[in-house]
Amino acid sequence: MRFKGVAGSPGLGIGYAALYEEPNLDWQHVVYSGIEGEKARLNEAIVTFKADVTEMANRALEKHGKEHSDILKRQISLVRDPFFLQQINDLIDGGKVAEGAVNEAAETCVEIYRSTGDERIMQRITDIMDARTRLLTLLLKVETLDPSTLPPETVLIGKDLPASIIAALNLANLAALVPESGGFTSHGAIMARSFGIPLVTGLQGVFDSVKNGDQVIVDGNQGEVITSPDHETLSSYVAKRQSYLEDQKSLNEFLNLKTLDADGQAHLLFANIGGINEAKIAKANGAEGVGLFRTEFLFLDRTTLPSEEEQFRIYSEVANIFAPNQVIIRTLDVGGDKNVPALKLPKEENPFLGYRAIRFCLNEPEVFMTQLRAILRAGAKEKNLLIMLPLVTSLDEVSSAKKILETCKGELQAKGQEYDQAIKVGIMVETPAAVSMAEELTQVTDFFSIGTNDLAQYTLAADRGNAKLGQLCSPFHPAVLKSLKRVIEAGKKANKLVGLCGEAGADPLMIPILLGLGLDEFSVSPSSVLRVRREISHWSLERAKNLTNEVLSLTTTQAIKDHLQKALKTAP
């Protein structure tokens, strides 16, 4: 069968389906089998739990380091805890099924921890709830897919594939991703592009029509998924994949070059990353710096928050990888489609318009300051780190954040710790409010980076993750293009650097407009760096400016895209 969706991440993946589903942990149907029967089930689940979690802790040690592995080991000590076990056994003696007993004992522990009011003890609550879920899964014998142990050539298919699941995947074995819900700028798609994994999203019916192990073709260039292909189709896609890979290879000639336009003028070409691995991939792909470090990705696939030391180590390593070039670290941008389980944020009616990003950080100074201290310290050696604030809508937010930053500097000074005293602070321009206030915002910031993913969503009141609105939520809408012009002009007037880190920066149709408007810095996914460098090399500034002027006089998204497509086809 053939399914048409949104091309979320380029490339062709051919492999075997693995279906991902949120586990159903309802135990109301379980019948009490007597004290001995329930205790035997409990013991069996605990033995498996210990073996599974020990293995996960060992894997986590390799992937994330000791701190993360220790978190998992703490879960093992919890199921050994005599108080916890006694409670479960008492509840079973009182006639509860093992599932109900585990759940109630976990809730009692949570209540006790919560009542201490001690921040460090309260952090263990997530550990308890995680251990509870894992034990319930084992008791109910619910089949769950362990994202870290996928077999080779897996095509992972889900109704939804949350960013926290994608963050935990063993990428080496992944052929492609197919989340039925989502759009081009949803974070699953962004992560897939970073890692160069084909992804198709925004399609219906695939999940219900395939079985685990079925052969699947995922065409991330055209946005197509083909299940159980016949021999002829399969061979044609194997050939297509070969020529795609060859084109990819030919990009290598741009690897060690500067990013020059056709006039020989240099432009900054940075990458968007979410961690050390992507930093290394970005560097290997020729990125000249980091225009956006999505630090919230460090918080996703775990049950506790990363400490100041852990963050310090990660930011320092990325600073070293790119030194002396710049690395722009965005402070925690949680909320929207990025839920951080460890923060236990309440569900909201309108998460993209809700309590998120800078709004959350200003309200949770402990979390914010831990991160700011880590960035300040990591910038001490190379002095190449910059701080960027997300979702800014007012000058007040910038001043409040800067005040908190000054407090952090004072704390580090008092402790005699080294830090970058002159670290620069910029903002994401991704709300219509920030565009309207761009001129004023230049007075309180050192640089701008335009986030077209959110800017298109908020300007056009169209959910970026809703595939049905994909045509509407476009950075080529004249309202968004006018915003780009205004922001870049405001930056130029104030002599402040303006970058762009939304996904539009890698779109061949958008590149001439950004060159024509005089953008200072492009920041794109690591897998797009060389393609963008090749694209920029085709444009002289005069031609880009002329085309930009023509486009800015047009009044609909379609007319703009048609005009750009024609111009690209007739390019010299």
- Give the DSSP H/E element, type plus range, for residue 496: none
CA terminus-to-terminus distance, the chain: 41
- What the block records as the tokens of 297 is 């990705």
**Minimum distance from residue 197 beta carbon to ligand PEP (Å):** 17
Tokens 């870049």 sit at which residue?
488
Closest CB to ligand PEP among 272 and 370? 272
Smallest distance from Mg ion to CB 499, Å: 13
Choose which of 75, 453, 483, 548 interacts with ligand PEP (CB under 6 A).
453
Span interacting with ligand PEP, options 5-13, 44-52, 448-456, 486-494, rule CB under 6 A: 448-456
Which residues, 6+ apart, have CB-to-CB distance to 483 below 8 Å?
432, 435, 455, 459
Please report, for the chain, how many H helices and E strands are present, in that order. 23, 16
Which run of H or E residues covers position 534?
helix 529-536
Nearest to 459 by CA among 473, 471, 447, 444: 473
The closest residue (CB) to ligand PEP is 451
- In the sheet that 12-20 helps form, which strands lie side by side, from edge to edge? 2-4, 224-227, 215-219, 12-20, 154-158, 174-179, 199-201, 6-9
Give 278-301 as a 3 state SS string.
HHHHHHHCCCCCEEEEEHHHHHCC
Candidate segments 118-126, 412-420, 452-460, 491-499, binder of ligand PEP by CB under 6 A = 452-460
Interface residue with Mg ion among 99, 127, 454, 535 (CB under 5 A) is: 454
Q: Between residues 350 and 570, which has the closer beta carbon with respect to ligand PEP?
A: 350
Cα-flanking dihedrals φ and ψ of residue 185, to 5°?
-105, 15
Q: Using CB under 5 A, which of the segments 58-66, 297-305, 361-369, 454-462 binds Mg ion? A: 454-462
Give the whole-angstrom CA distance, residue 25 versus residue 176.
28
Site for ligand PEP in 163-192 (CB under 6 A): 185, 190
Stretch that binds ligand PEP, among 11-19, 203-211, 275-283, 450-458 (CB under 6 A): 450-458
Question: Per CB under 5 A, does 288 bind Mg ion?
Answer: no
Structure tokens at 442: 């230049």
Which one among 278, 430, 520, 521 touches ligand PEP, defined by CB under 6 A?
430
Specify whether 231 is catalytic: no
Count of CB atoms situated within 10 Å of the CB of 176 = 27
Under the binding rule (CB under 5 A), the answer on residue 261 touching Mg ion is no
Counting other chains too, the contacts that 67-70 makes at CB distance below 8 Å and 24 or more residues apart are 67/306, 67/307, 67/309, 67/310, 68/302
- Which helix or strand (DSSP H or E) is residue 148 part of? none
Residue 452 binding: pick among ligand PEP, Mg ion, none (C-beta 5-8 Å cut-off by kind): ligand PEP
Distance separating alpha carbons of residues 471 and 477, to the nearest angstrom:
10
| Residues near ligand PEP (CB under 6 A), total | 12
- Regarding 463 and contact with ligand PEP (CB under 6 A), the answer is no
Site string for ligand PEP, 391-410 (x = CB under 6 A): --------------------
Query: Which residue number is nearest to Mg ion in terms of Cβ?
Result: 454
Candidate list 100, 286, 289, 451; residue touching Mg ion; CB under 5 A: 451
- C-beta closer to ligand PEP: residue 68 or 330: 330
Report residue 521: phi and psi, to 5°. Answer: -145, 130
Identify which of 222, 168, 215, 213 has the alpha carbon closest to the alpha carbon of residue 195.
168
Outline where DSSP puts E strands in 308-395: 327-330, 385-389
Footprint of ligand PEP on 319-348 (CB under 6 A) = 333
Q: Is residue 426 a contact residue for Mg ion (CB under 5 A)?
A: no
**Pick from 130, 136, 135, 163: nearest CA to 147:** 163
Residues 6+ apart with CB under 8 A from 238: 14
Q: Which does 435 bind (CB under 5 to 8 A by kind): Mg ion, ligand PEP, none?
A: none
- For residue 134, the partner it binds in ligand PEP, Mg ion, none, with Cβ less than 5 to 8 A by kind, is none
Work out how close the CB of 330 gets to ligand PEP at its nearest, in angstroms, rounded to a whole number: 8
Contact map string, positions 497 to 516, toward ligand PEP, x by CB under 6 A:
----xx--------------
**Of 442 and 459, which has the nearer Cβ to ligand PEP?**
459
Comparing CB distances to ligand PEP, the nearer of 180 and 430 is: 430
Q: Which does 294 bind (CB under 5 to 8 A by kind): ligand PEP, Mg ion, none?
A: ligand PEP
CB of 256 to ligand PEP, least distance (A): 27
- Residue 128 binds what, of ligand PEP, Mg ion, none (CB under 5 to 8 Å, by partner type)? none
Instruction: Report the alpha-carbon distance of residue 477 to residue 469 in Å, rounded.
Output: 13
For residues 428 to 447, the per-residue mask of contacts with Mg ion, x marking binding by CB under 5 A and - elsewhere, is --x-----------------
Window contacting ligand PEP (CB under 6 A); options: 74-82, 196-204, 447-455, 555-563 = 447-455
Q: For the window 379-418, what string marks contact with Mg ion as x by the rule CB under 5 A?
A: ----------------------------------------
Catalytic: which of 64, 187, 267, 477? 187
Q: 78, 131 in Cβ contact below 8 A? A: yes
Selected binder of ligand PEP within 100, 162, 202, 451 (CB under 6 A): 451
DSSP 434-471: HHHTHHHHTTT-SEEEE-HHHHHHHHHT--TT-GGGTT
Length of the chain: 572
Quick check: 68 and 304 in contact, CB under 8 A? no
Active site residue 501: yes
Nearer to ligand PEP, 96 or 464 (CB): 464
* d(C-alpha 532, C-alpha 268), whole Å: 11
State the DSSP H helix or E strand holding residue 515, giving kind and residue range, or none if neither: helix 511-517
Residue numbers 362-391 binding ligand PEP by CB under 6 A: none
Applying CB under 6 A, which residues contact ligand PEP? 185, 190, 292, 294, 333, 430, 451-454, 501-502
Applying CB under 5 A, which residues contact Mg ion? 430, 451, 454
Catalytic residues: 187, 501
